[in-house]
Structure 1
Amino acid sequence: MNFSTNIVHYGRLILRLIIITQLFRLAIVSSSIPILQHPCSQELARGFGDHINWKTYEEGMAEALDENKPILLLIHQEQCPACHDFAPKFAADENIAECSKYFVMINCKDEEEPSGYTPDGKYYPRIIFLSPKGDIILGIRNDMAKENYLYYYFTPDAVVRSMVRVVKLFYEVQHDGEYEDL
């Protein structure tokens, strides 16, 4: 190899290293961009957690039947101060996100509120746990709530406690007492 061949060879090598470095940088940047589980997940989250696989009422009811999973039905209002206060707490809680994998998560706001889910009144936000057929699981409610607001959750821990009780109840009934702890 002569001098000019060496320069061309090293030039190509440097160009390859630059391209590889740029591809590596692109991979690092793109890996830090969150990937949504559902194309509409962020829109449906409405502040209650983009990382949760939220469904509309219609989608969620169909999926719960198909997959035989319990439902967490979240009902809230745009103009509700309690809803706005609770949303970031709900969204930030890792235990809720982990437990959500065992549920079909339905998020209904304003006029999307389905009828028939006011077991103790119409207040917001309400979290109601349903069977895969859409029946209210009456024994599961916020154990810290006041008498007329049993489905009003104001702490993520209370939501997680109810989620765990539903999972244990559901899988105990479905699988003859065999379930894994969350």
Structure 2
Amino acid sequence: MLSSCVLTVIALLVAIVTFAESRSLARGFPEDIHWVSYEDGLAQGKAQHKKIMVLIHSSWCTACSDLKKEISENKDTKEIVKLSRHFVMVNVEDEEEPYDKAVSLDGRYTPRIVFLYPDGRPMSIDNRLEHPNYKYYYDRPEDILSAMKRALKL
């Protein structure tokens, strides 16, 4: 009896810590999205055979702050949250940005979003029509939503 109570308490603590960690990874982006770290995202993408959306931003970046505000006030946010369930959603900020060519295809600017196949290879999804010099720069929720839909079709 005592051992089952201890196991239940441990399971609850693990669930609480996991939930709190995913919430803290939102960093001003929608809390309804299950965010993970880059390393966890790559592992989950492979294990779950899911495409990966990597959001890279900086705490000091004005454009990143503007994007957070845009997303919090935009009608497309509910759809972004809904589509996020079909991806492993990675949220990387500041020093967490990996030195990985897969997510630095045309530079290391912020904010940028890169879509990866489950095996970690970059997908050919970008925002070059809006920003030809910074193909992975997204500053509008509707462009993020469009890119997510295109990624799901590949």
Tell me, yes or no, if the aligned pair for 2:106 and 2:134 is still in contact at 8 Å.
Answer: yes
Q: In structure 2, how many angstroms separate the alpha carbons of the residues matched to 1:142 and 1:128? A: 10
Give the superposition deviation at 1:58. 1.4
Structure 2 SS opposite 1:145: coil
Amino acid at match of 1:101: R
Larger relative contact order, structure 1 or 2 (CA cutoff 8 Å, min sep 6)? 2
Aligned mates of 1:89, 1:132 — CA distance in 2: 29
What stretches of structure 1 move > 4 A for 4+ residues in a row? none
Unaligned runs of 5+ in 1: 1-36, 170-182
Q: 1:124 aligns with which of 105, 110, 131?
A: 110
Percentage of matched positions with identical amino acids: 41
Q: Equivalent residue for 1:58?
A: 39
Q: Distance in 2 between matches of 1:159 and 1:76?
A: 14
1:100 equivalent in alignment to 2:84 = yes
Aligned residues: 134
Segment drifting more, 141-150 vs 39-48: 141-150
Q: Match for residue 109 of structure 1?
A: 93
Counterpart-to-counterpart distance in 1, 2:153 and 2:59: 33
Q: TM-score, normalised by structure 2?
A: 0.81
Unmatched tracts of structure 2, length 5 or more: 1-17
Q: More deviation in 105-114 or 140-149?
A: 140-149
Counterpart amino acid of residue 149 in structure 2: V
The correspondence for 1:150, drawn from 135, 147, 150, is: 135
- How far did 1:40 drift? 1.3
Match runs of 1:1-182 below 5 Å: 38-92=19-73, 93-115=77-99, 116=101, 117-137=103-123, 139-169=124-154
SS of aligned partner of 1:164: helix
